[in-house]
Structure 1
Amino acid sequence: MNKYSDSYDDEDDQPQKKSGGSFIINFLLKLSILGLGLALCGVLLAAMALSLAWPNLPELTAMTDYRPRVPLRIYSADKVMIGEFGEERRNVLHFAEIPDVMKAAVLSAEDDRFYQHGGIDWAGVLRAGLTNLMSMQKTQGASTITMQVARNFYLSSEKTYSRKFYELLLTFKIEASLTKDQILELYLNQIYLGNRAYGFAAASRAYLGKNLADVTPAEAALLAGIPKAPSRFNPIANKPRAVIRQRYVLGRMHNLGYLTDTEYKTALDQPIVVKSAEGTPAGGYAVHAEYIAELARQLMVSSYPDNVYSRGLNVYTTIVAKDQEAAYESLREGVIDYTRRAPYPGPEDTVEVPPGIENNPAKFDEFLDGVLEKHPDRTDMLTGVVLSAKPEEVRVARSSSDIVSIKDKKALGIIQRALNPRAAADQRLQRGSVVHLHKTVDGFEILNPPTVQAAFIAMTPQDGAIRAMVGGFDFYHGNFNRVTQAWRQPGSSFKPFIYSASIEKGLTPMTLISDQPFELSAAQTGSKPWSPKNYGNQYEDMLTMRDALAKSKNMVSIRILQLIGPQYAQEYVTRFGFDKSRHPAYLPMALGAGEVTPLQLASAYSVFANGGYRITPYLIDRVTDANGQVLMQAKPVIAGDSANRTVDGRTIYIIDDLLRNNATVGTAAKARQILKRNDISGKTGTTNESFDAWFAGYMPQLVGIAWMGFDKPKSLGSGETGGGAALPIWAGYMMSALKNYPEVPRAPAPDGVIAEGGNLYLREFPPGQTVTRVGLDGPQGQIGVPMPPVSGQDSLGDFLNNLGSSNSPYRAGQ
């Protein structure tokens, strides 16, 4: 054997060795043949599979006749969405309605060659494969928009070869059946984007609080970044990661020519503001109408119990969006103002802040995250931790990069006693105090989340349409609707109904009545003595009914009720819609000792505003199905129909004159001073020890009721009255709402009303022929009849006891 030979003679002992080049060529040739054979087999198998699978592919009717599960939607009268309820939230738009910037952002983020490929982007597949091979992990995918549409419409998310195979087949079928624009329209409308939002229109409302047509390039890029990982890249779950993804999408839009250099820089500089209302079905509504949306939802569930959340019903309420927002803002400001006036109770909690942790941003943010998790933000009330507290400055941290310095003297005045080193430990502000920040026009102030509550309702007295409703300070921390559910004592706001009853019994605005204090003995009450008081313990000798109502005198109201009879008054007030059982026939009824809801009081005052007609409040104007077909249309009772008259129009005219006088020189005068109108009528109301503060005011076109108090009744404070606490809420709303209503001149007095000396009289009770004086000894100089024990309960005294009274339960009365 030649030692340099390349082969062996004995083939049985050793394999013949060939040259390296020929070996490689032969190997590649055989490999190619094998690959070709496998490919042919694959093609044959694929053809067989295709012939079996293609006929079983679903029809595309779910796409061509796209009818998603559309939720229940609630709108204002001017078609602003205020609520959405259902497992899925969608808002299907036609292709032309979707802004180009949104389309560009999606194409840049998900499939920039969408209009070039046939459903599968082979170049993208190769690029993703090489990238993943080099990184030894799956860092890129190659799903096109068409593939995602196929997956989302028909397939589960399980990762199996059979599912992937069907996805490819469906992709080909979709591309063969629909245009590119149709496919992209489907994707933009049905892709899941986190927080139960399906489609970019729903996501725009959920995360940005705006219509999709109004998004900027920066906002479009933010939304377009979500499909990659909806649970991780949505700005509510993780805003920092969402912004990182957004900047990547903006870069792609810039590189692909969708954004100029200037547009790109502007988009990068635009801060992202997430307007997601905590707990709302869709989040980020432009109008705060949570109580209305919830009430409408309840009404719809009772009316349409089957599939109410998925059949696409549209509910159009009677509220006006702009005015509703004004009511919300006014109520919250009224509650905040009261909270500013009340003594600051001290921080919510105190935590140990490690020394020097501010110098380590990562650890500091981790520490603050823990505090905020335990003490989350409230609506417009942001949680922070005090870093330092001095009489001239308080520094509060929300994050390592968000530290608020409070130096404003007015803001510091609110917490002045908490900055005193000698303050009690639980009231003192110091390093580690957990506080809440409230934004003002001048900066921030420290306020605890309010514990006091308020409610507001406005309606049109002609038909009862509710124009605005706010059931409390914060819907998301207890959705109890105080407008419809809270039964409270109306206080002096109830007096006009007693006066109305007295007019029909023969008293007049000029009747003089004693304002002197008195006491009913235990023998007269049947239980214990009762000594009612005027507000501020101020008394006068004799007052006309006109002046007594303007000054809200309790002694006069009680004497009026004693004269006309509590049983008569109890029956009479039912004409205004009050529940007889909630207004027992006892003298304290004259001071508003019964129970009403704000909605009921608004309905009752509507009788004064519309001339004597009982109307029924209503909230839902109409309901349509998903195709716009009207399913229900409200048919409200209209004032002016004689069948609906409940009180003599002449009596109403006289009472309205008294209430206009009250808004001019009486306890409600501030209302006219603020609004600078002459067609305003109103009455304040303050119950015993200021447990409840009311203002009931109206003009011919609109009635409004404002209330403030604690859910668990306790005093608002000795100086708090309906005029100071509730009237500003009412006036704040009316300043906005009345811009749409010109001032209405007073109508002429109806037939049967006599005008003399600036006062009004019923024809059957003319001046000089009526009760003109009710003194200490009763009307017309007669001795007043002592109050005997009354029926219905054991005695008046027992009634007082049941209301928790001790000695003099009904004093306040403004």
Structure 2
Amino acid sequence: MTEKARNRLLSLLWLCLAGAAATAMAFASIYLYLKPGLPSVESLRDIRLQTPLRIYSQDMKLIGEFGEKRRNPITIEQTPELFIKAVLAAEDSGFYSHNGVSIKGLVRAASQLLQTGSIQSGGSTLTMQVARNFFLSREQRFLRKFNEILLSLQIEQELSKDEILELYINKIFLGNRAYGFQAAAHVYYGRDINELNLAQWAMMAGLPKAPSTYNPIANPTRALVRRNWILKRMLELGYIDQDDYKNSITAPVTASYHGRDLDLDAPYVAEMARKKAVELFGDNAYTDGYQIITTVDSRLQDTARKALQRGLEAYDTRHGYRGPEQRLDAALLEDSDLLVDLLNEIPVLGGLEPAVVTAVEPQRLQVQLRDRRVVEIPWENGLDSIRPYLSENARGPRLRSAEEMFAPGDVVRLRRVEIKPEPNSETAKAGNEAGAEDPFEVGDEPASAEQETAQPREEWHLAQVPEAQGALVSLDPEDGAIRALVGGYDFHQSHFNRVTQAARQPGSNFKPFIYASAIEKGYTAASIINDAPIIFEETNLQDVWRPENDSGRFLGPIRLREALYRSRNLVSIRLLQALGIDYALGFVERFGFERSKLARNLTIALGSSALTPLEVARGYATFANGGYRIEPYLVDKVLDVHGQLAYQALPLTVCRNCPEPGSEQLPLEPVDLLEAQLERDVSSTDEEPIELRTLPTAPLDPAGEQARPRAPRAISPQTAYIMDSILKDVIKKGTGRRALVMKRGDIAGKTGTTNGPRDAWFSGYSPYLVTSTWVGFDSNGELGKNEYGGSAALPIWIDFMSAALEGLPERHLPQPDDIVTVRINPKTGLRTSRSGMFEIFRADRIPGRETYSAYQPIYNGDDKDAANDEQQEKALPEELF
């Protein structure tokens, strides 16, 4: 080598060394500049992935999810191994061999940049993607890239490969608000990640590169190309064999959008629980993965929703058909796509589907559904019963032809009815001969193949979304746990929760609290009060007030028991006047009512103070549990993202096994006589009080009740027992007689209707549940002259409580000490040794004996009860004020 060549080589060497030194110094300078601003990698160990708030029923049915990001974190052990290989094949096949940075990938990215003048790929490893997703932005700047490289090197030093991969699997954005592959599996396939097949895993592994471009829902063609490329890479890398590849590459694209499927339709409950979560945890409630377990029972909740919807629809049907919801231009019928778009903008309410009338004939309609299906509505599927709505008190005549009301372009509502297949005649006949209860159950022979494969058929019936609204709430009277709550016909129609937000006048539904105050003060169920006209002249009642019973009739002197179950207004007012308003208001507070919400005048005897259904239900719970005041609650407990307890409710709970200060423990021993003896006429001449015995059942005792805060006693057990007996008479022979259809002796309650009528109520209970129902208009409009608590609200209560109590044995309140029964003259309320009726009293309030010489028997219990029952059927409005 010549001297000249040697010098050139040395110069080149020094130049390279200088360049390397300069490069090293540049990188060192960048490192020293960026190092102070780099976040701590150790924080990744404690990272909290943003996980939405989820709300469940007591039996763990999902009823709500709140949060911007769908995420279901899983561990690396829970992730299928073949899916992990699909991700590595798509994103970073050298993941387990590099130190966080792929020089080859960076060189390739730099080369693409030089050749095209723009960034084509980032050359990022999975570790670099973790660094970017947790700590950095996606902005394409060189400074951010240097930060990403430095962070990746740190991450590789402090975390294991599996820890890094687990962070990636749970953090990466995959479209449709899904973060992490488990959430994406639910969004695109409606299943857990470990339930998918190889083709689906490869499809999902292709999403991180560009979730919008390779979205199998929005862009199935490009997504399929990406999926097949990943499958080929898996084959080349030896992750799968040739058979796996062939089977998967021909698989069709099966992805479709799966919104988070809720197990239970309870949006009013979910919204209440969401507010409680924010109250407890602030805005972190939406991101920290809390799970709220409510007190709601899924079976009761579903029953309550259906009962309220059926009741409102029944009320609506009684008042006539208002016509189509909308009338579209008939020209729109030519554009099927536009028609479908318009229908999809109309929400399904109460299960009633919107549809557009496409053709009308005298005895049928042809309509198009949102899914483009065209179905027929024959005359007998709701058209034959249509009577046009004229007003709340009037309907027009039945339609003679569908053409009188409908035209093409009308938007109507339909109810889907499933018709189960009938058994074939021979099988049914054989079943009848064999004595089988079910025609499908014939001896030991199996059902035929035809029966096993027969599918239900569907019919569509014309329907209408009710304008009236309603509410239903059901509580456990032992601790106030809300078991079911429905705040309106449909949450998508109105988010206004009428259970907690609608303060309405309860009417006669409030009377039991006034009567309880009278019994507590010294009145008895046999006290005589005059049902006669009365006039008040008071300035706070606008000069002159002439209350009356709605029927305009007066019964004269009447027992307190009968006055309540017949809902006599004048008796309630006289009773309150005798008690004094201040005393009554103070006593009513014991049931949990706020005194400030109650009118300070005699109209409170008729329920003039606005209250919510939840407040009324809480009050009735005191009668149901034997005299204790409970507080309703919805959230039982809250679990954090790790399943650890973050909140536990400690409700006030009835504790009958806890000795009460200054009083004896209530007896729980069952005895043998039926309470029906109260109603039976007797001819015995015994004059001494007879101890009353109750049904052979004991009260409900919640598990662990002694560990919970004790519910305070609101009224004496004797008062609660007497009131329970009177409220059972409301069912047996009063304004709640419709509930006799339930054939239960342990139910009690009271109707309520306000002037107009505008509000219809029924609140009632068994020892298992206390339930309040309300029906009315949000606008406070009138319900119609023939609508009362017993006709509008009570059927909803019966529908719900019949299902709720099905299969449960009857229970009755335990008989407290100092309760006796005596025979009285029902006309005078005095003790008698002649034919009369049983009544229950506190031992220290037994009435005196009547003077027989002055007594003229004018009453036969059976005959008068029958007459009064018939009279009551004709005069339900007597509960109005």
TM-score where L is the length of structure 1: 0.72
Bigger drift between 218-227 and 463-472 goes to 218-227
Deviation at 1:547, TM superposition (A): 4.0
2:173 is paired with a residue of what secondary structure?
Answer: coil
Q: Deviations over 1:605-630 (max 9, x none)?
A: 11111211222223333455555565
Matched, 1:392 2:363: yes
Matches within 5 A, 1:441-452: 441=418, 442-452=458-468
Separation (CA, whole Å) in 2 of partners of 1:771 and 1:296: 63
Q: Which amino acid aligns with 2:621?
A: S
Separation (CA, whole Å) in 2 of partners of 1:477 and 1:144: 49
Separation (CA, whole Å) in 2 of partners of 1:321 and 1:692: 28
1:699 maps to: 766
Separation (CA, whole Å) in 1 of partners of 2:733 and 2:535: 32
Separation (CA, whole Å) in 2 of partners of 1:183 and 1:370: 48
Q: How many pairs align? A: 719
Q: CA 1:767 to 1:250, structure 2 compared with 1: closer, same or farther past 3 Å? A: farther
Matches within 5 A, 1:283-302: 284-302=261-279
Residue of structure 1 aligned with 2:337, choices 352, 355, 365: 365
Separation (CA, whole Å) in 1 of partners of 2:245 and 2:635: 50
Q: Which amino acid aligns with 1:191?
A: I
Q: Deviations over 1:650-673 (max 9, x none)?
A: 011011012223334443344453
2:666 maps to: none
Residue of structure 1 aligned with 2:406, choices 395, 414, 429: 429
1:592 maps to: 607
On the 8 A contact 1:222/1:245 being kept in 2, the answer is no
1:583 maps to: 598
Matches within 5 A, 1:796-811: none
Q: Which amino acid aligns with 1:366?
A: L
Matched, 1:647 2:710: no
2:134 maps to: 153
2:756 is paired with a residue of what secondary structure?
Answer: helix
Q: CA 1:307 to 1:174, structure 2 compared with 1: closer, same or farther past 3 Å? A: closer
Separation (CA, whole Å) in 1 of partners of 2:752 and 2:333: 54
2:179 maps to: 198
2:627 maps to: 612
Deviation at 1:40, TM superposition (A): 13
Separation (CA, whole Å) in 2 of partners of 1:735 and 1:54: 74
Separation (CA, whole Å) in 2 of partners of 1:322 and 1:465: 15
2:322 maps to: 345
Separation (CA, whole Å) in 1 of partners of 2:796 and 2:192: 30
1:766 maps to: 846
Matched, 1:502 2:569: no
Q: Which amino acid aligns with 1:660?
A: K
User: What's the % identity of the aligned pairs?
Assistant: 38
Deviation at 1:139, TM superposition (A): 12
Separation (CA, whole Å) in 2 of partners of 1:225 and 1:79: 34
On the 8 A contact 1:73/1:312 being kept in 2, the answer is yes
Residue of structure 2 aligned with 1:637, choices 647, 652, 664: 652
1:747 maps to: 814
Separation (CA, whole Å) in 1 of partners of 2:220 and 2:817: 68
Q: CA 1:116 to 1:753, structure 2 compared with 1: closer, same or farther past 3 Å? A: same
2:730 maps to: 662
Separation (CA, whole Å) in 2 of partners of 1:390 and 1:131: 69
Separation (CA, whole Å) in 2 of partners of 1:307 and 1:572: 42
Q: Deviations over 1:25-63 (max 9, x none)?
A: xxxxxxxxxxxxxx9999999988776767857654354
Deviation at 1:539, TM superposition (A): 6.5
1:709 maps to: 776
On the 8 A contact 1:145/1:187 being kept in 2, the answer is yes
Bigger drift between 119-128 and 51-60 goes to 119-128
Q: Deviations over 1:664-715 (max 9, x none)?
A: 44433444534x5432222222222331122212222322212221112112
Separation (CA, whole Å) in 1 of partners of 2:106 and 2:355: 49
Separation (CA, whole Å) in 2 of partners of 1:165 and 1:293: 46
Matches within 5 A, 1:252-651: 274-276=258-260, 284-305=261-282, 307=284, 309-311=286-288, 313-354=290-331, 357=334, 364-370=336-342, 372-373=344-345, 375=346, 377-378=348-349, 380-399=351-370, 401-407=372-378, 409-413=380-384, 417=388, 428-441=405-418, 442-511=458-527, 518=533, 520=535, 527-528=543-544, 530-534=546-550, 544-623=559-638, 625-626=640-641, 630=645, 632-640=647-655, 642=660, 644-651=712-719
Separation (CA, whole Å) in 2 of partners of 1:245 and 1:677: 65
Q: CA 1:191 to 1:451, structure 2 compared with 1: closer, same or farther past 3 Å? A: farther
1:475 is paired with a residue of what secondary structure?
Answer: coil
Q: CA 1:657 to 1:72, structure 2 compared with 1: closer, same or farther past 3 Å? A: same
1:279 maps to: none
On the 8 A contact 1:690/1:715 being kept in 2, the answer is yes
2:844 is paired with a residue of what secondary structure?
Answer: coil
Deviation at 1:583, TM superposition (A): 3.3
Q: Deviations over 1:550-575 (max 9, x none)?
A: 34344444454455455543333222
Separation (CA, whole Å) in 2 of partners of 1:621 and 1:128: 55
Separation (CA, whole Å) in 2 of partners of 1:208 and 1:449: 34
1:434 is paired with a residue of what secondary structure?
Answer: strand
Q: CA 1:160 to 1:585, structure 2 compared with 1: closer, same or farther past 3 Å? A: closer
Bigger drift between 182-191 and 250-259 goes to 250-259
Separation (CA, whole Å) in 2 of partners of 1:453 and 1:308: 32
On the 8 A contact 1:301/1:308 being kept in 2, the answer is yes
On the 8 A contact 2:365/2:402 being kept in 1, the answer is no
Structure 1 portions without partners, runs of 5+:
1-38, 277-283, 359-363, 773-809
Q: Which amino acid aligns with 1:402?
A: R
Deviation at 1:497, TM superposition (A): 1.6
On the 8 A contact 2:473/2:617 being kept in 1, the answer is yes
2:330 is paired with a residue of what secondary structure?
Answer: coil
On the 8 A contact 1:315/1:620 being kept in 2, the answer is yes
Separation (CA, whole Å) in 2 of partners of 1:684 and 1:450: 22
On the 8 A contact 1:533/1:554 being kept in 2, the answer is yes
Bigger drift between 552-561 and 605-614 goes to 552-561
2:618 is paired with a residue of what secondary structure?
Answer: helix
Matches within 5 A, 1:716-755: 716-735=783-802, 737-738=804-805, 742-754=809-821
On the 8 A contact 1:457/1:469 being kept in 2, the answer is yes
Separation (CA, whole Å) in 2 of partners of 1:330 and 1:165: 63
Separation (CA, whole Å) in 2 of partners of 1:405 and 1:339: 24
Separation (CA, whole Å) in 1 of partners of 2:581 and 2:224: 73
Matches within 5 A, 1:652-691: 652-671=720-739, 673-674=741-742, 676-691=743-758
Aligned residues: CA RMSD: 5.2
Matches within 5 A, 1:6-17: none
On the 8 A contact 1:570/1:584 being kept in 2, the answer is no
